[in-house]
């Protein structure tokens, strides 16, 4: 196991593990997740897992750009969905 494979960071939104990205050869090449801005939680690393990036951060960014809220409802996306039974910080 390489040093990168031993390092599992936590998502600043759901507090789950940040996904490790592997190349075709199986080696880990990315362990630090995604930029969680503007969904930054105080005292966090500002990084998020792929799921929270896709389902929370990107929709919030699109909403900030002025897209109508029903865009998210039609896509079945809520602002703070649950991931694998975990409730994101700030979610209900």
d(CA 54, CA 64): 15
What is the mean predicted confidence (pLDDT) over 79-83?
A: 49
With a pLDDT cut of 90, the percent of the chain lying above it is 36
Would you list the domain boundaries of the chain? 3-74
Phi then psi for residue 22, to 5 deg, are -120, 145
pLDDT tens per residue across span 40-53: 777 778 999 999 99
pLDDT tens per residue across span 16-31: 999 999 999 999 999 9
Whole-model pTM? 0.66
What is the mean predicted confidence (pLDDT) over 28-38?
A: 92
């Amino acid at each position: 196991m390489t040093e990168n494979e031993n390092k599992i960071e936590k998502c600043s939104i759901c507090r789950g593990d940040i996904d490790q990205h592997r190349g075709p050869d199986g080696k880990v090449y990315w362990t630090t997740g995604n930029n969680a801005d503007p969904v930054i939680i105080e005292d966090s690393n500002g990084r998020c897992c792929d799921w929270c990036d896709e389902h929370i951060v990107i929709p919030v960014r699109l909403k900030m750009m002025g897209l109508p809220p029903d865009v998210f409802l039609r896509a079945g996306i809520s602002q703070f969905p649950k991931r694998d039974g975990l409730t994101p910080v700030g979610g209900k």
